[in-house]
């Protein structure tokens, strides 16, 4: 009998095989050597069954059948990956020991747990827990395999998370959809995130701009010139501002006070996933999902960074020697000059800014590995560069400044000047070639408007004599307007999600809030994508704007008296409780009991709510079909609920069976002001026309129940009208470059698998 190693994805399985058994034979769906058989899960092979698995009556959406609360949750295989599940089942029969080599985190633990439960695998389990995929790390990880039972509490937390999401998403979505006769998606995490966007939008709309005036004095003392801002109540009267300017212009003044102090700016913390996503969004406009996908490729495919799905900005003592090895490995690369200037003595076990084991739970901060980065595409190179520069900055001293604070008095009026004189660049030399576009790292509250005094940064020496007079060479009145709150970008929304919606700008306070954030670093990107996919938000450049459908959803939920469902703080507390379950300090059973009560309360509140008027959603396209007709069937997680019956995983290859953050995704109906007709609907007996909508190609007979739709974004491609025309007329496209479910890129034809639903496949 051999040991069966189950990895999460094919790339990881191949990496493990190459490291521990390079002579093993590749059998396509598994790799077998003398002692080991290595296979993989391709993400979620198994998920929670839908309601009709418990009772046929749940095939129809009926509010009188709610809440749906299973005594024991049933599991169901993902039909698209059943072949691989069968491979694992057959291999397990030839094995007397299992090694869980799925990703080292809650979701990876859950994927293995579902396989183990569904296939009823009883072999003893060992756990591989590693943070990067270099051969050295893999081999070391196998030398230090842990007992699978050590992670039982993490499995309990993962299971509780998935089942809680099912209960809230399934019951909430069915309740609101059937009550209001429009497809509405509700989720334990997605709804509070939508509420954040809604509340910010309302603040922006309620904002009334106020015109005000600033007075800037220009002063001279010998050859030294400087600027200062007038200190006093905000001026809304231009005549008063002009009078003050005339009063001081050309007059002599004195230095009322002059303070100089030395300050240091230390390197920014190492990246966790959320911080990396925020900065990649700010600098490159990457969506949170794109950053996660690119980071995962750098980790799995290229093996040049450590495990990216981490919530820690610190490392442990064991990582310090590895950091020094990585620094040496960067010699001779594009970063060679920075390596030469590095001070290795700054990165040591006693540096608590870097090495703080108490702040590392499952995974340390994102680090580059000692592997050479070759063959990176442009986006991978950009993200890798962010990680490497942040890493290198830890080997450099603090930037040093002399901060001059001057109060200048002219004709009884005070002006404040703050000059930050650079003494030594320190770690900022790493970013000297990017100074213009480098995102500013602010600590404490960001300045809300320009009425605050300006800080002037200079590289040349600044010095004045406090005992000598000055002249106000000029006085300039500047007209300003107060600014409304800014729309969320993906970067700022991630920041709000991390701190459970509390607008905390101080990094240390936000750090303390991490255990009660919305979702996890690994799932926040999926939540944002889901809000886009269900039509609740749309992008305008980097801005996230709420749609009418999104507004109505929040207003209906709050109107039903279920404010709790939109509360980031409450959901953050749930996430913290899941972390406590993972640590063994809280009961998963008690958590689930509370979730069941909450799901029941949602249904009870919606049942007595008045039905919304039809014009509440007028600016939105009518949904395809109506769940209230009793033909709908909900699907948990990221699966798409087909409004008029059945459900299917999105053809883009997304993980389907139990998405990380819950909620039922709702199909957006194709629409256009003047629809472009592509052809005749291929669904038997329909006779409708296929037209292009915002997210896909749908049938003009959707009101009559036709559920045919082809999503525009399928298999890594944005389908053209011509390709869709070919699909509905010929059943297939020409050969294309496509992306499979496991992320593999290949060539093949996209074919129309189901003429009734528009489901696609690859040939």
Q: Could you give the C-alpha distances from 120 to 92, 93, 159, in angstroms and in order?
A: 10, 11, 16
Tokens 């809604």 belong to which residue? Answer: 198
Lowest mean pLDDT among 202-206, 237-241, 719-723: 719-723
pLDDT at 744: 73
pTM: 0.77
Measured CA to CA, the distance from residue 437 to residue 599 in angstroms comes to 47
Tokens of 659: 């998405």
Q: How many CB atoms lie within 10 A of CB 352?
A: 11
Residues 438, 439, 445, 450, CA torsion sign: positive
Checking if the pLDDT of 443 tops 50, the result is no
pLDDT at 265: 96
* 549 φ, ψ (degrees, to nearest 5): -65, -40
Share of the chain above pLDDT 70, in %: 87
Mean pLDDT for 55-75 is: 96
Q: List pLDDT tens digits, range 416-428.
A: 999 999 999 999 9
Measured CA to CA, the distance from residue 226 to residue 220 in angstroms comes to 7
Measured CA to CA, the distance from residue 300 to residue 308 in angstroms comes to 10
Active-site hit among 307, 314, 488, 702: 307
Tokens of 449: 């408007």
Measured CA to CA, the distance from residue 193 to residue 554 in angstroms comes to 10
Checking if the pLDDT of 503 tops 60, the result is no
Return the ∠ at Cα 733 (arms to 727 and 734), rounded to 5°.
160
Task: Place 498 in a pLDDT band, splitting at 50, 70 and 90.
Answer: confident
**SS3 for 414?**
strand
Using a CB cutoff of 8 Å and minimum separation of 24, what contacts does 510-515 make? 511/313, 511/359, 513/572, 514/311, 515/575, 515/576, 515/579
Tokens of 726: 């070919």
Mean pLDDT for 240-256 is: 97
Name the DSSP letter for residue 513. Answer: T
- Return the C-alpha torsion angle 728, 667, 533, 731, nearest 10: -10
Positions of E strands within 601-731: 640-641, 647-648, 665-666, 677-680, 689-692, 696-699, 709-711, 713-714, 717-718
The helix (H) or strand (E) run that includes residue 529 is helix 524-533
Q: List pLDDT tens digits, range 353-382.
A: 999 998 887 799 999 999 999 999 999 999
Name the DSSP letter for residue 545. Answer: E
DSSP 560-600: TT-GGGG-HHHHHHHHHHHHHHHHTSS-HHHHHHHHHHHHH
Checking if the pLDDT of 745 tops 90, the result is no
Least Cα distance to 724 among 686, 668, 687, 682 occurs for 682
Measured CA to CA, the distance from residue 166 to residue 657 in angstroms comes to 10
Size of the chain, expressed as the number of residues it contains: 763
The helix (H) or strand (E) run that includes residue 423 is strand 413-424
Tokens of 338: 């920075």
Tokens of 310: 């981490």
Measured CA to CA, the distance from residue 476 to residue 127 in angstroms comes to 68
Q: How many CB atoms lie within 10 A of CB 271?
A: 26
Whether 258 is catalytic = no
CA 753 to chain centre: 32
Measured CA to CA, the distance from residue 405 to residue 403 in angstroms comes to 7
Checking if the pLDDT of 514 tops 70, the result is no
Checking if the pLDDT of 441 tops 50, the result is no
pLDDT at 725: 87
* 3 φ, ψ (degrees, to nearest 5): -90, 130
Mean pLDDT for 67-79 is: 96
pLDDT at 623: 35
Contact between residue 526 and residue 638 where contact means Cβ atoms under 8 Å apart: yes
Checking if the pLDDT of 446 tops 90, the result is no
Measured CA to CA, the distance from residue 653 to residue 9 in angstroms comes to 14
Checking if the pLDDT of 631 tops 80, the result is no
Measured CA to CA, the distance from residue 539 to residue 694 in angstroms comes to 13
Q: List pLDDT tens digits, range 114-170.
A: 999 999 999 999 999 998 888 999 999 999 999 999 999 999 999 999 999 999 999
Least Cα distance to 621 among 700, 539, 531 occurs for 700
580: Cα within 13 Å, side-chain hemisphere: 14
Q: Could you give the C-alpha distances from 538 to 149, 643, 693, 710, in angstroms and in order?
A: 44, 22, 15, 20
């Amino acid at each position: 009998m051999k040991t069966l190693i189950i990895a999460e994805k094919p790339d990881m399985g191949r990496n493990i095989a190459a490291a521990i058994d390079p002579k093993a034979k590749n059998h396509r769906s598994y790799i077998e050597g003398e002692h080991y058989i290595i296979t993989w899960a391709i993400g979620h092979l198994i998920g929670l069954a839908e309601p009709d698995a418990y009772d046929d009556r749940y095939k129809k959406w009926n509010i009188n059948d709610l809440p749906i609360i299973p005594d024991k949750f049933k599991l169901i295989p993902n039909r698209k990956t059943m072949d691989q599940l069968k491979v694992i089942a057959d291999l397990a029969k030839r094995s007397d020991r299992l090694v869980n080599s799925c990703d080292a985190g809650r979701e990876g633990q859950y994927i293995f747990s579902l396989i183990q439960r569904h296939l009823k695998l009883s072999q003893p389990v060992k756990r591989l827990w590693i943070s990067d995929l270099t051969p050295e790390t893999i081999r070391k990880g196998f030398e230090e395999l842990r007992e699978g039972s050590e992670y039982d509490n993490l499995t309990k937390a993962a299971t509780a998370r998935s089942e809680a999401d099912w209960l809230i998403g399934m019951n909430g979505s069915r309740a609101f959809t059937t009550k209001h006769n429009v497809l509405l998606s509700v989720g334990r995490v997605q709804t509070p995130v939508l509420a954040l966007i809604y509340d910010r939008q309302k603040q922006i709309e309620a904002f009334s701009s106020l015109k005000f005036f600033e007075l800037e004095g220009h002063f001279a003392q010998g050859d030294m010139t400087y600027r200062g801002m007038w200190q006093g109540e905000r001026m809304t009267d231009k005549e008063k501002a002009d009078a003050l300017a005339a009063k001081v212009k050309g007059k002599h003044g004195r230095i009322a006070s002059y303070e100089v102090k030395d300050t240091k700016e230390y390197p920014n913390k190492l990246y966790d996933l959320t911080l990396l996503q925020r900065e990649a969004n700010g600098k490159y406009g990457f969506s949170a999902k794109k950053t996660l996908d690119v980071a995962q490729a750098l980790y799995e495919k290229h093996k040049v960074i450590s495990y990216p799905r981490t919530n820690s900005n610190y490392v442990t003592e064991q990582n310090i020697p590895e950091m020094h090895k990585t620094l040496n490995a960067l010699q001779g690369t594009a970063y060679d000059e920075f390596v030469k200037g590095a001070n290795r003595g700054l990165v040591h076990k006693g540096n608590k800014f870097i090495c703080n084991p108490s702040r590392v739970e499952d995974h340390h901060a994102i680090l580059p590995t000692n592997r050479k980065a070759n063959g990176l595409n442009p986006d991978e190179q950009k993200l890798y560069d962010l990680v490497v520069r942040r890493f290198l900055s830890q080997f450099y001293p603090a930037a040093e400044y002399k901060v001059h604070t001057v109060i200048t008095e002219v004709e009884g009026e005070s002006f404040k000047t703050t000059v930050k004189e650079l003494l030594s660049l320190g770690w900022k030399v790493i970013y000297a070639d990017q100074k213009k576009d480098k995102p500013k790292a602010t600590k404490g509250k960001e300045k809300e408007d320009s009425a605050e005094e300006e800080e002037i940064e200079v590289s040349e020496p600044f010095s004045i004599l406090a005992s000598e007079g000055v002249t106000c060479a000029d006085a300039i009145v500047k007209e300003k307007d107060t600014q409304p709150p800014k729309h969320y970008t993906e970067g700022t929304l991630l920041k709000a999600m991390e701190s459970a919606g509390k607008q905390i700008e101080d990094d240390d306070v936000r750090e303390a809030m991490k255990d009660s954030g919305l979702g996890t670093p690994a799932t926040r990107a999926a939540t944002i994508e889901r809000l886009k996919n269900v039509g609740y938000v749309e992008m305008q450049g980097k801005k996230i704007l709420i749609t009418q459908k999104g507004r109505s959803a929040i207003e209906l939920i709050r109107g039903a008296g279920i404010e709790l469902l939109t509360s980031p703080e409450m959901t953050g507390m749930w996430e913290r409780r899941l972390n406590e379950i993972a640590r063994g300090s809280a009961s998963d059973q008690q958590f689930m009991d509370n979730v069941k009560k909450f799901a029941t309360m949602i249904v009870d509140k919606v049942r007595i709510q008045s039905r919304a008027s039809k014009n509440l959603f007028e600016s939105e396209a009518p949904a395809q079909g109506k769940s209230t007709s009793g033909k709908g069937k909900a699907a948990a997680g990221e699966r798409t609920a087909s409004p008029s019956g059945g459900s299917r995983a999105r053809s883009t290859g997304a993980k389907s069976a139990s998405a990380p953050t819950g909620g039922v995704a709702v199909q957006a109906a194709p629409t256009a002001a003047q629809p472009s007709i592509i052809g005749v609907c291929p669904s038997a007996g329909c006779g409708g026309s296929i037209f292009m909508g915002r997210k896909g190609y749908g049938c003009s007979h959707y009101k009559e129940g036709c559920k045919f739709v082809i999503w525009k974004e399928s298999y890594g491609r944005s389908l053209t009208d011509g390709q869709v025309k070919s699909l509905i007329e010929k059943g297939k496209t020409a050969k294309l470059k496509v992306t499979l479910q496991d992320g593999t890129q290949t060539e093949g034809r996209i074919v129309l698998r189901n003429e009734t639903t528009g489901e696609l496949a690859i040939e």
